[in-house]
Structure 1
């Protein structure tokens, strides 16, 4: 199989009813990016998620399946996908089909066009949240607090639709829920972050794996940790003096 130019990583936990739709929409919406690969990272599902993905592999040879024996969380699933990816550019989509796969070309375009090597992340920002009122209010409060503390100039870090350089992601200090702080951490490494508006859709199958209380509890400690990391990072300005004799 030809080496892919884009790796599309989709974490899934008990998303059996969304697998086929995700794969078929990716085939249609990302056709212009060929050759690409899609990695479904099954995070310890107890339903038929893996079986339904495997049933599609003969039809879609670019589909790969990475499996966690037990659930480790979305960030761990993203990391497993990035480590297994064969392309220099990775894109992530939530496995519930709320992020349309047709948005991936828009996300990867700035990275593919970048000739400077300075763009590290393209972060999707949902134009209109298609969640419950309680989730939208909780997310708005969390984003406001995060933006004030981290100064990351991003209004919606919870959006799962993102694209980034694989090597840049692997530079970042890994922790659970890192996927919510990628803009701040990529900037911490000295790379540029580009923001792109993307569509958001309502979940049509399965149930959410998160609650507002769970997000609030882990968010408080994570925010403090990322603030500490931002304060402790010092990027040197490096120059080479003289020259070496290669003869």
Structure 2
């Protein structure tokens, strides 16, 4: 039986930290913490919770190694001070990787993002369209999206192709796209449907309703300017702002510099 939730609740009570403040400090909803009290802390969250409170993760997980370490929040502090102190003392940490597949249930703080991809149209002739497709999904943290101001229902992911943004965003990188943010903010990165071609570019506004596409790899890829009429003719549609990206880098990949 997973009793880690009971140890967590006892430790919070002893340290004088409200459940709501603790939940906010690690980026989850209070009801998630209440679930943990009953069902135990999810394995992938043990190190996050232990580090935030300054306790021994082994003790928190299964009661091993005796007593917890000296708490970072002491019982003589007021509850009002707790969130501030937790924020100050929250260390940088790496959570252990947990393998998963399509049958693995989502954790309380996770959502599944759908994939945007270039799809060849049934009419053929090499024509493609950027569409949301069924099948591949990416598990993503709600906390990360909250930090980026992204509504999970408006988030999708796509794959970057080419080296126009090398070495910032590598070929094959997965990018997170906020479909709820299509307004151009100069200097932000966006995913674009350019007449069926999926592109990832920095955007700037131009007078008269035009836009400039800019690549990070400026020496090889020059700016592309489009007037309003060209945007209409070439069916340039902003899919959303890129708020996150990640790359798997094989050992024998080409050098970054």
Q: Scaled by the length of structure 1, what TM-score is found?
A: 0.25
Larger strand proportion, structure 1 or 2? 2
Larger helix proportion, structure 1 or 2? 1
Whose RCO is larger (CA < 8 A, sep 6+)?
A: 1
Q: Scaled by the length of structure 2, what TM-score is found?
A: 0.24
- Which protein has the larger Cα radius of gyration, Structure 1 or Structure 2? 2
